[in-house]
Amino acid sequence: MWDDEDHTDFSFSVSFKGPAEIERERAVELSKKRPSLLRPEDVFDVVDAGLELQIFIPEAIRLIESGCYIDFVDPYKDAYSILDAHAAYFSKNPSQKKRYEKLKLWRKNRGNCISPKTGRARKSYSSEACANDAVRCMADSYGQQVAVQCDFCGEWHLTPASRHTPSKICGYCTDGDGNSKQLYFSREGAMKRAKIIANERGLHLELYRCPHEDGWHLTKG
């Protein structure tokens, strides 16, 4: 006897993934790879998803420091907005926070760097390579110049080699007004800067070794 009743089960379920879920899964896969092997945009996608922050946030900061162009698909996001969302990470990682705060300061001051000598905006170059090209072009007209990255704006300026005294902002010491002191990398550089200040301002300064970092400071004594 044939069973004429159709017992075929045509029931099935279809699951559609939304864009957010797809992006999350993509970020998870990216987080399993070395950051150095990914595109800059992929590194920030992983950070944006909050994955493997101990590995990917330092790489994201390095990308900003290098001046790398990052093509964000979402026009409402950029490198800083993505990193700003991870305050908890930075509170637990003070060394990375210090690096990031410096980058934010540079971003704020870019294009607004004023020469303390002339009171005018300083000519800036976006990269060391561009600054060195300018050094070569200006050698005949202005003498030997040196490209120096600015602690204030993060861009590159030119300074006469005769005035070049390599230094950076000290992360610990401050002057009488509470401003961070300049840390000179060598005793000779600090002495040279002291002589320049004495000749130009009539201010005689003394040298002393920084108690916190490897370098020298100037003081009124």
d(CA 173, CA 214): 12
Asked if residue 5 has pLDDT above 80, the reply is: no
pLDDT of residue 16: 74
Q: What is the dihedral of CA 169, 89, 91, 93, to 10 degrees?
A: -50
Residues 150 and 183 in one domain: no
Domain span including residue 69? 19-109
For residue 200, is it within any domain?
Answer: yes
- pLDDT tens track for 151-200: 889 999 999 999 999 998 888 899 888 888 999 999 999 999 999 999 98
Are residues 42 and 55 both part of a single domain?
A: yes
Residues forming a β-bridge with 218: 207
CA–CA distance, 26 with 75 (Å, rounded to integer) = 20
Q: Are 169 and 158 in a shared domain?
A: no
4 domain residue, yes or no: no
Full DSSP string of 44-81? HHHHHTT-SHHHHHHHHHHHHHTT-----SSTT--HHH
Is residue 81 predicted with pLDDT exceeding 50?
yes
Share of the chain above pLDDT 90, in %: 68
pLDDT at 117: 76
Beta strand ranges found along the chain (DSSP E): 145-149, 156-160, 167-174, 180-184, 206-209, 216-219
For 17-67, the pLDDT digits (tens) are 788 899 999 999 999 999 999 999 999 999 999 999 999 999 999 999 888
Question: What's the whole-model pTM score?
Answer: 0.70
Is 85 a member of any domain? yes
Does 188 lie in the same domain as 155? no
Same domain membership, residue 28 and residue 49: yes
Q: Are residues 35 and 69 in the same domain?
A: yes
* Model pLDDT, residue 1: 38
148 with 186, same domain? Answer: no
CA dist 22 and 28 (Å) reads 10
- 32 and 64 share one domain: yes
% of the chain beyond a pLDDT of 70: 93
Mean pLDDT of all residues in 204-215: 96
Are 40 and 100 part of one and the same domain? Answer: yes
Does the pLDDT at position 120 exceed 60? Answer: yes
How many structural domains does the chain have?
3
DSSP 26-37: HHHHHTTS-GGG
- Same domain as 153, residue 72: no
